[in-house]
Amino acid sequence: MIISKYISGATINARIGFTITETIVTPETDTSLLDNATGTSNFAAKGAHRLKVTAALARLDSGSTADSRFIELMEIKGGRPTSVVNRTQLGTILKTLARRTYDESGDYTIRPFMFESKESVTLNENIGVYDSGATTYGGNTASTSLLSLKVSPGKAYIRGNEIEKTTNTFIDIPKARDFNTINAGIITYDVGNYLNITNVYGTPDVSFISGETTPYKQIDIYDTETSTRGSASGTRIGIARARTMEYSSGTAGATSSTYKLYLFDFRPFMFLTLDGTPSPTLEVNHSNGGVQVKGVTSGATGWVFADGTSTTQVIVTNVSGRFTTGEKITASDSSESDQIVETSGNADITIDTIVTKNVSEARQVHMTDDDSGQHFTADIVLDSVSTTESFILLNATDSNGANAEENVITEIDKIPLGLNRGTTGGTGSSLKQAQLKSAEKNIGLFKLNKGTIKTLLTTTNSGASDTSYYLRRQFITTANSVGVITLAAGANEVFVSHAEVDYTVSILTAGAGGTGRQGDVVSFSTGFSGGGTSTITVTNNAVFGNGAKVKIIATILKSSASAKTKNVKLMKQCKVVSGTTDAYGTRPTDKTISLGRADVFNIAAILDSEDTGTDAVAPTLTVGTITGTFSKGEKITGSISGAAGRIINTSSPLSYVLKRGTTAKFAAADIITGETSGATATVSAVTAGSNNITSRLQLET
């Protein structure tokens, strides 16, 4: 049976079955009803009339009521069969069997139904099931107030009755509209990932102050305790960034007191010693992070840290996998066809030795400042770690156990010999090492207490925010002639009352007549006033004297905090071009490609020109007069083709990309309509664009 010759399958709603026709058959029209007792039909001996029932395959519209003589076998909605009659209803017998099945086995599934909650109305690309105003499978009008529950095909026995669905079923569910308001709700900000530090000189940069500080400036990690306060000691073994610093214990300001240094972006170094000097050098094209090296055999990857990389030594960070000695390495910016790192004589270079550093070896933190004497240094407080057996202290091992049980290098062959713990013997030891505290609490974004919270704005305060939160902000200021320091907060902000943990102060330049010296960390407790207001003053001429320049990390309570306004920028384009020596992640041949944007929620299309000398181009629609004004990025649909896409520009020719997951394409004579603007135009020509390779890549955010 042909359901429809001219209507698109997606719009067909019909019922398929038999139309029943009943007729009376008489002996006058059918001689077989005459008495044939004598061997021939006897017209004088007529038999009984007969009722003739004829079934003809037919279709009715879903809304048709002319079905008094119609037996339904199948129902089609949106071009899909939603119900099929494939068994005989046996009435009482079937009910008896169902009752016995339920008594014996209860409810169960043969092929479980799978459920997926979707929007009823299409909002963005494939999120919704229907267009706005369309009739749903349940007979309702699609709108934003409905959810559409997608139920997959499956089979189950419910109270003994067989329930089978052969296609997806969509069930309308009204969205919850009841709500509750919580006032003065509290969200705890539990942050960790800190080192305990002592012998502190200065403080790290954590905020932006024009001409003074760099937000989250790089902190260098060294393997030797401070020998001269304000100067680095030993070998740098990693880098990190400071989130904040706060008092922990001891006498505030004393060199013996303990502070917490909260870190993030911690990157320990791996030192690769090569058997030759790369030519060109691995840092020639990029500073830190632009070159990726990869082990040819192991497949391990890492990023070259330029500062310290030279001749045969390569420092790498963010290592994934395990490099192995003796293997060759490739460099992402190499001009060689195989990208293998070579010497100036074109000999392939291999890894000679590998040394991996970690936080346990850290002994000092250091931050460089452009101004003389204003660096930040501190020693890391070590923790005692008990071992079940003794260990060997090597020649380079200090009193704290650093480098204990590292490989021994033979003097002649330079072959590393590993030292293993003995299976027996030894009475145990205590090893001192650095440890990151609460390392699992290292996130900067926190969810609200409940996932169902829709907004922090309420009608009772005219939609204004009443959110309050605590923050740390850095200040740099100068004491006046009598040692008074004044700080001012911003709008809707107040300083908290003094507590040593809430105010960390260091002296950048000593004041005349004050006892504070450059690099000293001092207390704000003496002469503090103004807590709970937007301005605080600290009067302490004895410490600050005349003209002391100080750096302060202060705790502030901000109220009526406004949410960040984010405006969607639809159909933004990013061109990725070839470049052998360009930074990794910016070229089309790289496994991972950066879009150069901090916030992306969807990729509409990825187009490939398949020619290194030609830019990729999007397909275009040449249109006549445009009625109305199209909006960049809005969805357009074709009146004849049924194609859907999003436009990149708003004047002819219109660049566009097709909606993902659709196969229909725009055609000449299509009248396109903008979903949000309502603008229309007639297509006169369609020009194909570059090859669409969206399915080959995956967006990671």
DSSP 222-246: ESS--SSTTS--S-EEEEEEEEEEE
- Decide if 400 is inside a domain: no
Strand residue runs (E) in 190-312: 194-201, 218-222, 236-249, 258-268, 270-274, 292-295, 301-304
β-pairing, 128-130 with 115-121?
Answer: parallel
Mean pLDDT of 23-28: 86
Q: Are residues 5 and 140 in the same domain?
A: no
- Decide if 440 is inside a domain: no
Res 137 pLDDT > 70: yes
Q: Does the global pTM surpass 0.95?
A: no
Please provide the DSSP assignment of 563-585 as one string.
PPP----TT--------TTSPTT
What is the domain extent for residue 614? Answer: 569-701
Instruction: Say whether 285 sits in a helix, a strand or coil.
Output: coil
Q: Are residues 61 and 173 in the same domain?
A: no
Res 409 pLDDT > 60: no
Residue 403: partners with Cβ closer than 8 Å, 6 or more residues away = 361, 394, 396, 397
Residue 252: partners with Cβ closer than 8 Å, 6 or more residues away = 500, 521, 522, 523, 525
Question: How much of the chain exceeds pLDDT 90, in percent?
Answer: 57
Burial profile 615-645: b = 16 or more Cβ within 10 angstroms, e = fewer: ebebbbbebeebeeebbebbbbbbeebbbbb
Q: Mean pLDDT over all residues of the chain?
A: 87
Q: How far apart are CA 599 and CA 593, in angstroms?
A: 15
Phi, psi of 398 (to 5 degrees): -90, -175
- pLDDT one-digit tens code per residue, 655-666: 999 988 788 899
Q: Are residues 352 and 370 in the same domain?
A: no
Domain boundary residue, one of 530, 558, 586: 558
- pLDDT one-digit tens code per residue, 442-476: 887 777 777 777 777 766 666 677 788 899 999 99
- Decide if 551 is inside a domain: yes
Q: How far apart are CA 185 and CA 181, in angstroms?
A: 10
Between 289 and 534, the higher pLDDT residue = 534
Q: Are residues 65 and 147 in the same domain?
A: no
Residue for token digits 């002649």?
A: 412
- Contact indicator for 649, 638 with CB cutoff of 8 Å: no
- Decide if 421 is inside a domain: no
- Decide if 49 is inside a domain: yes
pLDDT at 693: 93
pLDDT at 495: 98
pLDDT at 457: 75
Residue 11: DSSP 8-state: G
Query: How deeply is 326 buried, as exposed, middle or buried, from its count of CB atoms within 10 A (0-12, 13-18, 19+)?
Result: exposed
Q: Are residues 69 and 208 in the same domain?
A: no
- Decide if 666 is inside a domain: yes
Q: Are residues 136 and 72 in the same domain?
A: no
Angle made by CA atoms 490, 494, 496, in degrees to the nearest 5? 140
Q: How far apart are CA 258 and CA 501, in angstroms?
A: 11
Q: How far apart are CA 344 and CA 338, in angstroms?
A: 16
Which of 9-13, 101-105, 290-294, 437-441 is predicted least confidently? 9-13
Between 122 and 98, the higher pLDDT residue = 98
Q: Are residues 490 and 607 in the same domain?
A: no
Res 14 pLDDT > 90: no
- State the greatest distance between any 2 C-alpha atoms of the chain, in Å, as a whole number: 146
pLDDT at 394: 54
- Contact indicator for 484, 217 with CB cutoff of 8 Å: no
Which of 35-39, 596-600, 640-644 is predicted least confidently? 35-39
Cα 622 to chain centroid distance, Å, stands at 38
Domain boundary residue, one of 558, 582, 603: 558
Q: Are residues 599 and 495 in the same domain?
A: no
- pLDDT one-digit tens code per residue, 667-698: 999 999 998 999 999 999 999 999 999 999 99
Model confidence at 122, pLDDT cuts 50, 70, 90, reads confident
Which tokens sit at 382?
A: 């070590």
pLDDT at 399: 47
Q: How far is CA 369 from CA 262, 352, 366, in A?
A: 19, 36, 10
- Decide if 582 is inside a domain: yes
Angle made by CA atoms 502, 503, 507, in degrees to the nearest 5? 160
Q: Are residues 227 and 375 in the same domain?
A: yes
Res 506 pLDDT > 60: yes
Domain boundary residue, one of 67, 86, 105: 86
Q: How far apart are CA 351 and CA 486, in angstroms?
A: 57
Residue 152: partners with Cβ closer than 8 Å, 6 or more residues away = 113, 114, 115, 116, 165, 168
Residue 209: DSSP 8-state: B
Between 29 and 393, the higher pLDDT residue = 29
Quote the number of domains for the chain: 6
Which tokens sit at 65?
A: 């009521």
Q: Are residues 596 and 688 in the same domain?
A: yes
Terminal alpha carbon distance of the chain: 50
Q: Are residues 351 and 369 in the same domain?
A: no
- pLDDT one-digit tens code per residue, 299-331: 999 999 999 899 999 999 999 999 999 999 999
Model confidence at 39, pLDDT cuts 50, 70, 90, reads low
Res 277 pLDDT > 60: yes
- pLDDT one-digit tens code per residue, 153-170: 999 999 998 899 888 889
Q: How far is CA 215 from CA 205, 243, 402, 474, 697, in A?
A: 6, 9, 32, 9, 34
**Other residues' Cβ atoms within 10 Å of the Cβ of residue 269:** 22
- Decide if 132 is inside a domain: yes
Res 597 pLDDT > 90: no
**Nearest in space to 508 (alpha carbons), one of 554, 553, 550:** 550
Q: Are residues 580 and 675 in the same domain?
A: yes
